[in-house]
Structure 1
């Protein structure tokens, strides 16, 4: 069996340097070219990390627990898990995911602890303020798409205000003069933040905020009728929608009136939902929620805490939305990317 000592002799570095590289602790400690040479040599020699031996040396299992509510069963929010897994693999960790929908949350967390889990991610489906279970309060922990009311734990979420602000500014730039907001009737941080961003953009650009252009809806027939009444009452030429699903009501109402989205009126949604945003014709300009980025950032922050790494010593990959620094105050907010398609007319 190939040993670290043999790799060190072959590459002309110390055993401790090889250990740092093989245990994914080389960032900021080992020159990148040296780390690359060590990894290449280890691969060529057929070196395989012994997880049991590593666990005994470090008193760590290199296992992370991902505790979620709905996230694991929601198709487009699965990006959170994918981002978290990619980051975990980068640092040599594996991740066990459990969904607590309809389950005994404490029992699921206890099961993860029996594996010797080094740290936890606690994720919610929709950005919210949540109480951390008592069974996790003393564990290394990062909240994903959620914030502790007492701000005791690192957390990451979308920048809801900038979602509304950027989407509305895009409509203003397109020449829209009467911009409506199709919001959500449920009490949510996302609704409050996006409405505030919408209002701020209108006031700052001189378009002016008109509460009669705001309609909050839930779904199905009542939602369609409320949007239809808005069309006839206010005749908006631009629509910012709380999510892509609500944009469908705008498309439907426009079609019934012989109006063409992208020509007679402009629409911006939120989610970049793979079905809705790509199926609607014309394709929907939308703000993409940073699911992947939240998952990736959360694991980087968690591993930094577990391994006592410097928060400024971990390079982040380029993603659709730029990730905040790991030492950003909680909640760390990600500025979401606006994905241009064809539903906003050319000014």
Structure 2
């Protein structure tokens, strides 16, 4: 195992200087060029921080607790947890994940993480929503993932719902669609509110009038298929922006029943890039990918910056599909999601 003494010998500085750099306490104490050289040599030698020794010196365990509700049981859990774990690992932290689904008591899970000495917490939701920070986390470094704090001050990260709809609708406008419908969600959600606003603004920016007859808000059930079918017959849209990929299936089904070809007669854009729909719908669905990896990565980096009280200027940011907002972005931080071109929208006219 490489020691700080070896790094000190290679760089010609004292062990205490190496310790300051390796524990991110060098700002204002060690010249930046020297600190950069120490880190470079440490990387070359394969130095790894000893978490036990570090926790004794700093009173930190370098552990982050990831608390999820309706996340670990969804298809998106992998991306969000992987993003958080990737950032935590880069920064020398261990991620411990607990789920409050299945009758697990949230307070008990938080207390367990605290007993393990977690330095900070990620509190994750599914389907972007307003939430309260649990009372047991009030005095801890905490970042909300795919959620907005009711207090308006807790650091949080979420998809830019408005831009999702604006970009999707604009793509349909560029494809030459004249009557663009929105298949929305009948549940009150931040995503629904933002996506409806983005759809409407994109139409107006293109010189189109918003027509409420082209908007149908549905759930995922039989009546939803009926409502979309009625929309086809009464309003005859040639473009559809769908709240998610699941709702895009209704459009595919209704088009098939009428002998219409998706990508030629009717253009469709969904949201999620859901693996099941992405692999089964034909032609393949053009969709806006939700940034689960990006949200997890940003949240973990943000909570570490709060724990260590530093800006993480030295963080090596990965090349993600959607660009990450800066760690000092206003609350809530928003991710501009990426539209994935496939085959369900005809070529731009």
Q: TM-score scaled to structure 2, two decimals?
A: 0.93
Query: Who is 1:113 aligned against?
Result: 114
Distance in 2 (CA, whole Å) between partners of 1:157 and 1:88 is: 19
Q: Render the CA deviation track for 1:63-93: whole Å, top value 9, x for unaligned.
A: 1000010111112242111100000000000
Q: Render the CA deviation track for 1:116-173: whole Å, top value 9, x for unaligned.
A: 1100000101101101110000001111111111113111100000011110000000
Query: Who is 1:195 aligned against?
Result: 196
Shift of 1:29: 4.6
Is the alpha carbon distance of 1:337 and 1:32 closer, same or farther for their aligned partners in structure 2, counting shifts above 3 Å? farther
Query: Who is 2:40 aligned against?
Result: 36
Q: Render the CA deviation track for 1:259-295: whole Å, top value 9, x for unaligned.
A: 1000111000000001102321111000000101100
The DSSP-based 3-state class of the residue aligned with 1:73 is coil
On the 8 A contact 2:269/2:344 being kept in 1, the answer is yes
On the 8 A contact 1:311/1:327 being kept in 2, the answer is no
Distance in 2 (CA, whole Å) between partners of 1:231 and 1:26 is: 64
Distance in 2 (CA, whole Å) between partners of 1:29 and 1:292 is: 31
Q: Render the CA deviation track for 1:233-284: whole Å, top value 9, x for unaligned.
A: 0110000000000000000000111110001110000000011023211110
Query: Who is 2:130 aligned against?
Result: 129
> Where do residues 1-347 of structure 1 align in structure 2 (5 Å cutoff)?
2-20=2-20, 22-23=22-23, 29=32, 32=36, 34-41=38-45, 43=46, 49-101=49-101, 102-310=103-311, 312=313, 314-346=315-347, 347=349
Q: TM-score scaled to structure 1, two decimals?
A: 0.94
Distance in 1 (CA, whole Å) between partners of 2:142 and 2:239 is: 42
| Aligned-CA RMSD value | 1.9
The answer to which of 21-30 and 263-272 deviates more is: 21-30
Shift of 1:35: 1.9
The DSSP-based 3-state class of the residue aligned with 1:222 is helix
Aligned pair count reads: 343
> Structure 1 stretches of 5 or more lacking a match?
none
The DSSP-based 3-state class of the residue aligned with 1:299 is helix
Is the alpha carbon distance of 1:20 and 1:168 closer, same or farther for their aligned partners in structure 2, counting shifts above 3 Å? farther
Is the alpha carbon distance of 1:282 and 1:24 closer, same or farther for their aligned partners in structure 2, counting shifts above 3 Å? farther
Is the alpha carbon distance of 1:210 and 1:2 closer, same or farther for their aligned partners in structure 2, counting shifts above 3 Å? closer
Distance in 2 (CA, whole Å) between partners of 1:137 and 1:103 is: 20
On the 8 A contact 1:81/1:292 being kept in 2, the answer is yes
